[in-house]
Structure 1
Amino acid sequence: MASDETRLKSSTSAEQAPDLSITADDNVYLHAAGYNESPERGLIHSFARFRSSPLDFIREVSLHFSGTGWRSFDRHIGQPEFYAGFSEDMKTRVLNSPMLVAKVRELAEKRVEVEAQEGLLGEAVLNGGSVGNQDRRADRRVQIEESLMQVSEGWTDAMICKMESKRFIRGAYYLTTQLLTRAYHQGVHVSSEEVLRLRAVAEKAEKNKQSIIFLPCHRSHVDYVSLQVICYRLGLALPTVVAGDNLNFPVLGSFLQHAGAMWIRRSFGDDQLYITLVQAYIDTLLQCGYNLECFVEGGRSRTGKLLPPKFGILSYMLDSVASGRVEDAIICPVSTQYDKVIEVDSYISELLGQPKPKENLRDFLSASSVLSLKLGRVDVRFHEPWSLKSFITQQRDRFSKLPQQLDTKEDRLRLLRTLGYKVLSEINDVSVVMPTALVGTVLLTLRGRGVGKSELIRRVEWLSDRVRAQGGRVAHFKNLPTSVVVDRALEVLGPGLVGLVPGLPEDTFYAVDRFQLSFYRNMTIHLFILQSLVSAALYTHVKQGGGPEYQRMSYGDLHAQVHFLSQLFRGEFIFPTEGLDANLSKTLSGLEKDGVITLSRSKTESGESAVDYIELSAAERSQGRENFDFYCFLIWPFVEAAWLGAISLMMLTPPPFTSTPQSLPLASVQDAAQRLGKTLYHQGDLSYFEAVNKETLKNAYTRFQEEGMILVSKSSPVTIRLAPEWVPRRADADIVAHGPLWRFADRISASRREGKNRRDGATVRSRVLALVQVVGEGLWADAETAPRKRGGMARL
């Protein structure tokens, strides 16, 4: 970074590393904590506009396309890229890969054997056969190999990134930065400390000819754009981005491929040639030391929080190093946070059951309508990079039974799971909580219809302190007053999400779209998940009312309920790895220190202190349980979703005297569960509309399958049925509220938020089960008529 392009602001505080903002005015701004410059300087200055400043506009375009200074990308850190012949070099390396060549020979030999057995090669070859037959086999094998290599060449050409022209990438950088900084008018921010550390790692990796594998979280298509912009602006070799071919549509697909995208199928199936080709390309990139970018979650998170890791491409990268074909690679987890995510509107539609539209250029271009909006800023944070080879070695030392070559599927999955969850945990560690997330969280964790401006500011300050106390980070806004930060957040969220009640003595705000606002609240929940689980468990006694002595809970009961909830949400959240007992002990001590709870202790026979009872503290009760309620409000929507999922399983109870199959299509069952949830919400038996979202219900069904409650087929279409021991019984054709499934749902319900329609358990039991039965009867009726419809169509 040249001195004339970097402006260092003086600092009066060293409480955190300064931010580095990349804006559209050709400058990188270093914002040290505590500086008092104008809050707008360097944040919203955009490219010159031709109408307002034609000379500046022409100058900027000229600098970018001529490659003046850093724009040339001639001295980047990393292996050579963007040169004529780059694509052909990569294709040649991939197609000459020993792995690919061996697979082609193997597949050709198998095909020749099949053709020989079927008599397609002339005389059957027995006991070695004649010389003529052997020649025909050899000729046919060569023919098949050539055909397979032609197929591989076509697939390779469609797959690999084609970073050929620096002039193209300079233009792409100008265009994407122009669009990005108009949408996110406060720029792209990184930590200067993390950037300097990353550059040092990149310099060492360049010398060793090693790749940096960037593993970001995935909330928006802007994720890979922002990372490419950062790498280009800071002079780091651009990563090859692993992308699904659903984005490879005309015009845009070619543009992205020349900017660094590699296209892969969304599903590989059992195509051995394609699987080997992808592995060969990954090997080639890592052997040559080219950087890679892959989203560890697979797809974009529609809920705002991290998704469980996907092990597809990650397994290929792991295998490259674990097998020894690649010496080493550097892993760099990346967190990308937004004041506002462009795609949230479409996410909500998908979560409510509307099918995801196919990617196309028209919809992509229609996104330009948001470019005139002020969406705040993007914050990108880089975890300290680490060696993938060292990680594998440590895991092998830790698990002595882990074979050196990862021979079995279980061995690979064990290592992959450890790698995936380690990366997710480190993404959470460096994530920054944005002002919109703070405001959204406060609005959704307060009782009442709305909140006054002064109370909103107070709670945002309280939440910021709690985030830091949990080891989290709050976005740095140059020591601006909280009131200004809140105003900016409200402006970015807009009246579609947060409303203002007019004509009151104090500005009073309320959540307009709680479902969409929950996306931003979910960006903070990982910091408080342990406190939320403890609070939800304690709530099983608090909700019973009465004096404090009736609301206290024994340690054994609390431990059991926390264990139950943590297992229930094992696929929803990333938990610390210390284990339940250690996590619970630490969380209870922290809540006691914060004055939320009081712990009653006694001495054990060994003289150690043990917790006997847990209850809300007098101080917490005196201030209206605001802190305890905050933790409960964070987890309650997920408790509601899990309860809805468990209750919906009762729809799988086969009707009496039926001739229909005992299984139902999984997609139909999940759609029916959503309809059931929407009905329960509007009738007052479900508190949170977001509990009906498709992703959370899918996660619940996955957990039920892991627990053996449901049996899911692998056929097409996928079907589902209750395990025999979980099937409720019927009395007079009605489902009875007894048995293991009802008790399971009732245990979840114990931690649900109390509602006025749910205080009479018998009424809830009859009303909810009656509705479940109505929806279930429709499912079974459809299942019974489906074979008849298929038979009629076959006859036609």
Structure 2
Amino acid sequence: MTSKEPSTSAPDIDILPSNLQIHPPLVPEQQLPDPNSSEESRNLITANFTHFRDDPFSFLREISLHYSGTGWRAYDEPIGQKIFYKGFSDEMKTRVLDSGMLKAKLQELAGRRVVVEDGMGLFNEEKGQRKRLQEVEKQLNEVAEEIVEGMICKFESKRFIRGAYFVCVQLLARTYHRGIHVSTLEIQNLRETAKLAAARKQSLIFLPCHRSHIDYVSLQVICYRLGLTLPVVVAGDNLNFPLVGPFLQHAGAMFIRRSFSGDEVYTATVQAYVDALLSGGYNFECFIEGGRSRTGKLLTPKFGILSFILDSILSGRVQDAWIIPVSTQYDKVLETEAYVSELLGIPKVKENLWDFLSSSKFLNLNMGRVDVRFHEPWSLRTFVEAQIDKVRIEGTIGVSPPLINPGGAGVGQKTVDRAAPEVRLRVLRSLGYKVLGDINRVSVVMPTSLIGTILLTLRGRGVGKSELVRRIEWLRTRIRAKGGRVAHFGGAGTETVVERGLEVLGELVGRVDGLAEETFFAVDRFQLSFYRNMVIHLFISETIVAAAMYTRIKQGGGPANQRVEYQTLLDQVSFLSQLFRGEFVFPTDGLITNLGKTLAGLAADNVITVTNDPSGTIAYVELSDAERKCGRENFDFYCFLIWPFIEGSWLAGVAIMGLIPPKGMEEVWVDLREAQDMAQLMGKTLYHQGDISYFEAVNKETLKNAFQRFQEEGIITIRKSKSGRTPPLMRVSPDWIANGRLWEFVEKIAISRREGKNRRDNESVSFRVLKLAEKCGRELFERGGVRDGVEGVEGGAGVEELEIEVSKPRRRGGRSGSRGAKL
């Protein structure tokens, strides 16, 4: 962020309203390629964009150039497969409906239907059965054709995409006034990979994180400007509303349902479309997290579309494709205000045209900039083969080779070796979490995230301007030391960048004037937590260790009283790592290795002191003298990052304790969503009563993740309706009620909680809190309790319609599964 400090990051190219330009690099020029020496850099220079009010003639001239397709605007020879021509949609539709896999599935479904009807005695002769089979096949083909028509993108008009590009850039430039930034070296690498993929007729599969609707707009704009074939973008059909839906579909949107609900025709049709795109070498884009993150941090991967992509490779219908993880970061996200409403339990409003048009209020808001970063592309087939080989070498799961079919799947041919479904699942999960890790590695931290993080990790009410700048410089240094990236602004100094960030954050940060020094404070902590959460992944190991050490440090006394024995530390670190394996992506080297690295790093930073016994084994860990002298500011920083999540899990645990049935009720089920709503209501109450320190702890996503974690542990059992007509039900598992196991589990969370200013938790779950939980639970039982899984179920669903979904408890010292190793 200052020109004095060297950096290994590449210079940026700004997609700005005025022009595209190369930023001065922050490293000596001899270490970087000459930005004007490559064809790619030269082709990124464009004419000025102007506002109509400022220069109407230049503005109208620019529109004319776009409409006529002058120069790069023509988009005549993009790198990749040919798109935007009359008849493209019909050709793609034909390819999908002619899929051998789809035809085989429709024939199978028709045959199954006829067998059922035959069993009902509806056919008197074989001729009638054959005729009925043809009728059902025709009906299913018509259904598939209708699905395809509503699903596929329609790259038909080059004039349309030229105009769409111009409109989108104008809107983006007015909203994000500092432009869209990309790394020069990354886009050079991307273009070279695109050329290679195009020559081999292979697809680029963009897998971005998802925080805003701007994500897919910005990536389409970048691909257009760089001369790459636009990707087909997977989008939820909730965006397919009048006017907007057709616009998006002609710009590259592929609309799919949020849930397929066992619809085999729909599932097979989606698979056939994915096959058609990837086998034809068309670029593809889907969001690894599924929906938008409402909390700011990466969500767990969704495996729906990834599963289709993997099956295309495993079946041999697609030989290979290139995976490109993409990180999109914002100074300010348009939707954060709406996200807060959702997280606080206010029902989400369905997208519609009026809301879309009314969003024009965001234009000209000067919301800063967007930074898009591309991880180095890698071969999907190479990754899959390496994962399968790894399983074979480990010998943990039997594999019947070949798992990958090299010759392509014919009619009725299995797409995956069914003898090894565990291998397929393992490859799929590894793929999802590798992409998440790659996104984290290339993400840049924006100035607004730095400001939000500092403001939410201070003990005082506010912070002076000079101290804010100092702490931001400290945080920037720590991020870079951890291998992270911080967005730079040419030669602008830290103070200037902070001022810009405060301007973008606007009313989220308060300013107190008339004091000896300009002082800032967090006004809307809930919204600011969105930007803080964009940083936490870099320090997750340190936060877990700090929270584990806090169990002793909060007891006070002299340094000897605050020492933490290694085994005690290891136990709590293991527990917290397991607790948050659904929240964060942890390093994959194993608990002991990761803990050792983290302790060594904290000791090198002079935050802690590690003392070994005579055998060289770690005996205990304690705060360093230097850390005590500086008021524990580094240690507290790590604690402040994780405390809201610890408090959210504690809140969920206390709420579940309130759902222990009263004496005389042996088995009581409650609506799962109502139980989560009850936990949120309890949290709001406890926050205002002073028993919870962080209002962010009551957010819907954190509570939902905690309930999921408790289900995996076996603390709660969840029943789901097979038909989907009734809501999921839950109950507290009897084994956890007996002998105080649930109490002990909640206590284990509580000992790492932050003690309040006016609260000292002699007993982590006080009598008052338990009484509130009991009261809320009793009201829930009375309102909608279900005994034996029957009473209170809407529609009178019986037990036979419900299935129990229970995850096996995991051992504390074992592998943490899909989220990587603990800590």
- TM-score of the superposed pair, with normalisation by structure 2: 0.89
Corresponding residue SS for 1:613: strand
Answer yes or no: is 1:499 the counterpart of 2:510.
yes
Corresponding residue SS for 1:215: strand
**One-letter code of the match for 2:572?**
Q
Match of 2:409 in 1: none
Answer yes or no: is 1:748 the counterpart of 2:740.
no
Corresponding residue SS for 2:363: helix
Q: 1:648 aligns with which of 649, 655, 661?
A: 655
Partners of 2:731 and 2:23 in 1: CA distance: 58
Q: Report 1:44-83 matches (<5 A).
A: 47-83=49-85
Match of 1:516 in 2: 527
Residue-by-residue CA offset, 1:374-406 (whole Å, 9 max, x unaligned): 100000000000000000110111001344134
Partners of 1:761 and 1:82 in 2: CA distance: 68
Partners of 2:28 and 2:761 in 1: CA distance: 58
Corresponding residue SS for 2:325: strand
Q: 1:20 aligns with which of 13, 16, 20?
A: 13
Answer yes or no: is 1:585 the counterpart of 2:581.
no
Partners of 2:785 and 2:671 in 1: CA distance: 12
Partners of 2:704 and 2:499 in 1: CA distance: 37
Partners of 2:548 and 2:794 in 1: CA distance: 49
Q: Report 1:697-736 matches (<5 A).
A: 697-715=703-721, 716-727=726-737
Answer yes or no: is 1:380 the counterpart of 2:391.
no
Match of 2:634 in 1: 627
Answer yes or no: is 1:221 the counterpart of 2:220.
no
**One-letter code of the match for 1:619?**
A
Residue-by-residue CA offset, 1:289-314 (whole Å, 9 max, x unaligned): 00000101010000000000010000
Q: Return the offset for 1:239.
A: 0.3
Q: 2:152 aligns with which of 148, 160, 165?
A: 160
Answer yes or no: is 1:295 the counterpart of 2:307.
no
Match of 2:483 in 1: 471
Partners of 2:384 and 2:472 in 1: CA distance: 42
Do 1:23 and 1:46's aligned partners in 2 also have CA atoms closer than 8 Å? no
Partners of 1:183 and 1:514 in 2: CA distance: 23
Match of 1:207 in 2: 199
| RCO higher in structure (CA 8 A, sep ≥6) | 2
Do 1:46 and 1:181's aligned partners in 2 also have CA atoms closer than 8 Å? no
**One-letter code of the match for 1:642?**
S
Partners of 1:617 and 1:657 in 2: CA distance: 54
Corresponding residue SS for 1:761: coil
Q: Return the offset for 1:759.
A: 1.4
Residue-by-residue CA offset, 1:474-494 (whole Å, 9 max, x unaligned): 001113111001000000000
Q: Return the offset for 1:763.
A: 9.0
Residue-by-residue CA offset, 1:338-393 (whole Å, 9 max, x unaligned): 00000000000000011111111111111110111010000000000000000011
Partners of 1:195 and 1:292 in 2: CA distance: 17
Match of 1:538 in 2: 549
Corresponding residue SS for 1:438: helix
Partners of 2:436 and 2:350 in 1: CA distance: 28
**One-letter code of the match for 1:543?**
K
Residue-by-residue CA offset, 1:120-139 (whole Å, 9 max, x unaligned): 23x2xxxxxxxxx2222222
Partners of 2:520 and 2:136 in 1: CA distance: 69
Do 2:331 and 2:446's aligned partners in 1 also have CA atoms closer than 8 Å? yes
Compared with structure 1, are the counterparts of its residues 140 and 788 closer, same or farther at alpha carbon in structure 2 (3 Å cutoff)?
closer
Answer yes or no: is 1:347 the counterpart of 2:353.
no
Partners of 1:499 and 1:243 in 2: CA distance: 37
Answer yes or no: is 1:484 the counterpart of 2:529.
no
Structure 1: where are the runs of 5+ without partners? 1-9, 37-41, 124-132, 729-737
Residue-by-residue CA offset, 1:711-746 (whole Å, 9 max, x unaligned): 000122100001111126xxxxxxxxx711111111
Match of 1:687 in 2: 693
Partners of 1:278 and 1:481 in 2: CA distance: 50
Q: Return the offset for 1:26.
A: 4.9
Compared with structure 1, are the counterparts of its residues 717 and 697 closer, same or farther at alpha carbon in structure 2 (3 Å cutoff)?
same
Q: 1:248 aligns with which of 237, 240, 243?
A: 240
Answer yes or no: is 1:136 the counterpart of 2:137.
no
Residue-by-residue CA offset, 1:258-279 (whole Å, 9 max, x unaligned): 0000011100011111100000
Corresponding residue SS for 2:160: helix
Q: Return the offset for 1:658.
A: 4.5
Q: Report 1:410-429 matches (<5 A).
A: 410-429=422-441
Do 2:452 and 2:532's aligned partners in 1 also have CA atoms closer than 8 Å? yes
Compared with structure 1, are the counterparts of its residues 28 and 254 closer, same or farther at alpha carbon in structure 2 (3 Å cutoff)?
farther
Match of 1:85 in 2: 87
Corresponding residue SS for 1:314: helix
Partners of 1:294 and 1:272 in 2: CA distance: 21
Q: Return the offset for 1:652.
A: 1.4
Compared with structure 1, are the counterparts of its residues 296 and 779 closer, same or farther at alpha carbon in structure 2 (3 Å cutoff)?
same
Q: Return the offset for 1:177.
A: 0.7
Answer yes or no: is 1:527 the counterpart of 2:538.
yes
Do 1:677 and 1:686's aligned partners in 2 also have CA atoms closer than 8 Å? yes
Q: Report 1:74-473 matches (<5 A).
A: 74-121=76-123, 123=124, 133-400=125-392, 401-403=398-400, 404=403, 405-407=416-418, 408-473=420-485
Residue-by-residue CA offset, 1:228-253 (whole Å, 9 max, x unaligned): 00000000110000011011011100
Partners of 2:595 and 2:366 in 1: CA distance: 42
Match of 1:5 in 2: none
Q: Return the offset for 1:15.
A: 3.4
Partners of 2:517 and 2:28 in 1: CA distance: 32
Do 2:544 and 2:577's aligned partners in 1 also have CA atoms closer than 8 Å? yes
Compared with structure 1, are the counterparts of its residues 204 and 757 closer, same or farther at alpha carbon in structure 2 (3 Å cutoff)?
same
Q: 1:568 aligns with which of 572, 576, 579?
A: 579
Compared with structure 1, are the counterparts of its residues 321 and 522 closer, same or farther at alpha carbon in structure 2 (3 Å cutoff)?
same
Name the % identity. 60
Compared with structure 1, are the counterparts of its residues 406 and 614 closer, same or farther at alpha carbon in structure 2 (3 Å cutoff)?
farther
Corresponding residue SS for 2:204: strand
Match of 2:812 in 1: none
Q: Return the offset for 1:709.
A: 0.8
Do 1:100 and 1:277's aligned partners in 2 also have CA atoms closer than 8 Å? yes
Q: Return the offset for 1:181.
A: 1.1
Corresponding residue SS for 1:670: helix
Partners of 1:313 and 1:154 in 2: CA distance: 20
Answer yes or no: is 1:551 the counterpart of 2:558.
no
Compared with structure 1, are the counterparts of its residues 748 and 790 closer, same or farther at alpha carbon in structure 2 (3 Å cutoff)?
closer
Partners of 1:349 and 1:514 in 2: CA distance: 13
Compared with structure 1, are the counterparts of its residues 108 and 346 closer, same or farther at alpha carbon in structure 2 (3 Å cutoff)?
same
Do 1:20 and 1:31's aligned partners in 2 also have CA atoms closer than 8 Å? no
Corresponding residue SS for 1:21: strand
Match of 1:678 in 2: 684
Do 1:11 and 1:34's aligned partners in 2 also have CA atoms closer than 8 Å? no
Q: Return the offset for 1:28.
A: 4.4
Q: Return the offset for 1:30.
A: 4.6
Do 1:655 and 1:780's aligned partners in 2 also have CA atoms closer than 8 Å? no
Match of 2:411 in 1: none
Do 1:46 and 1:182's aligned partners in 2 also have CA atoms closer than 8 Å? no
Bigger mean CA offset, 625-634 vs 719-728: 719-728
**One-letter code of the match for 1:382?**
F
**One-letter code of the match for 2:619?**
D
Compared with structure 1, are the counterparts of its residues 110 and 240 closer, same or farther at alpha carbon in structure 2 (3 Å cutoff)?
same
Q: 1:664 aligns with which of 642, 665, 670?
A: 670
Do 1:425 and 1:574's aligned partners in 2 also have CA atoms closer than 8 Å? yes
Match of 1:733 in 2: none
Partners of 2:92 and 2:119 in 1: CA distance: 38
Corresponding residue SS for 1:332: strand
**One-letter code of the match for 2:552?**
H
Corresponding residue SS for 1:74: coil
- TM-score of the superposed pair, with normalisation by structure 1: 0.92
Do 1:595 and 1:620's aligned partners in 2 also have CA atoms closer than 8 Å? yes
